[in-house]
Amino acid sequence: MKILTFLVTGGSGFIGSSLVDTLLSLGHKVINIDNMNDYYDASIKFGNIKQARLNPNYHFFQKDICDFDEIDKVFAQTKIDFIIHLAARAGVRPSIDNPILYQNTNCLGTNIIFELAKKYGINKIISASSSSVYGNNIKTPFSETDIVDYAISPYAATKKANEVMGHVYHSLYGIDMIFHRFFTVYGPRQRPDLAIYKFVDLIEKGIPIQMFGDGSSSRDYTFIDDIVEGIISSINYLFKHNNVFEIINLGNCNPISLFELIQSIQKALGKKAKIIKMPMQPGDVNATYANIDKAKRILGFEPKTSFSIGLKKFVDWYRKNQEDFK
């Protein structure tokens, strides 16, 4: 692949910064738009891009994707070849508390990115969707052909809406798009509000953890390196093909129950968890489980990192990270 200029929205977050580092390592130029909001400590996001900012091929714009005029200026002053749209308000439970904020950022912000892609003739986009769009899907594993009209959180609803809007821009303006439904991504740089990070942090410090439900709920945990590899494969696919609109699961195809997760973390840390049992939370799905046949067929996607190895890598990163903070 020739050297390209990628716009990565949300490029300071967990998935975004990991992808940015990979793109830079491949010699590409990267423009990162991120508003560095206060959903979690912004210093973590600034830490994620510390190395990238030393690279002359990297340019950072601290701007909100909902501000059309400011984002328009970025498009106008740069020559973007490809958009990877990851910016969003994340989290199922917070979306229930503030659905209007999620609708504004996730839907309006995404529409602005698509509209500016049309304006500036950028016709290759990869956009982040989510396994949450499947809701409490009865059939497992979850396939891209399953009906996803029954979201159980505002966050999930915004992700489904973006897929639909993406098809509009593909149909009307010929923009090639791939939406990836990510399945519970974990690994180094994981957001501190997510279960693996929270449990590791609390158990390491001897603080009780909250277990929501009876421990039988499960997630298809997917290691960050496998997700980034899937995105890179999608970039290559889009440059070899035209007239593309695809929705593709990126998961590990191996659900882990909440009870198993806690046991695995205890083993990785060598410490016993103190557990407080709590009722299931509104908006939380019972299970996620990815059918990745389409990703294998189209992208050659094959997750390589087992959960035990991925968890060990996260714990090693966490402990080093804590030492760095000290």
Q: How far is CA 193 from the centre of its chain?
A: 14
User: 225 pLDDT exceeds 60?
Assistant: yes
- The better pLDDT of the pair 286, 166 is held by 166
221 catalytic? Reply is: no
The proportion of the chain whose per-residue pLDDT surpasses 90, expressed as a percent, equals 93
Q: Where are the domains of the chain?
A: 5-186+222-253+289-304
Q: What is the pLDDT of residues 41-63, one digit of tens each?
A: 999 999 999 999 999 999 999 99
- Whole-number mean pLDDT of the chain? 96
CA distance 83 to 243: 16
**Above pLDDT 70, what percent of the chain?**
98
Q: Is 5-186+222-253+289-304 assigned to CATH 3.40.50.2300?
A: no
User: What is the b/e burial string over 146-172, where b = at least 16 CB atoms within 10 angstroms of the residue's CB?
Assistant: bebeebbbbbbbbbbbbbeebeebbee
The active-site residue, picked from 155, 197, 237, 318, is 155
DSSP 272-319: PPPEEEEPPPTT--SB--B--HHHHHHH-------HHHHHHHHHHHHH
pLDDT at 323 over 70: no
pLDDT of res. 326: 46
Residue scoring higher pLDDT (277 or 325)? 277
pLDDT of residue 282: 84
| Residue 130 β-bridge partners | 182
HSE on the CB side for 71, CA within 13 Å? 26
Residue 324: what pLDDT?
A: 60
Query: Can you give the pTM of this predicted structure?
Result: 0.95
Mean pLDDT on 14-19: 98
Question: For position 285, what pLDDT does the model report?
Answer: 86
300: left (phi over 0), alpha (psi -120 to 50) or beta: left
pLDDT digits (tens, 9 = 90+) for 281-294: 887 888 999 999 99
Kindly state the DSSP code that residue 55 receives in the 8-state scheme.
S
Amino acid (1-letter code) at residue 34? D
Residue 322 has pLDDT above 90, yes or no: no
Answer whether residue 1 shows pLDDT above 80: no
Calculate mean pLDDT across residues 285-304: 96
pLDDT at residue 281 in the model: 84
Tokens of 80: 């973007």
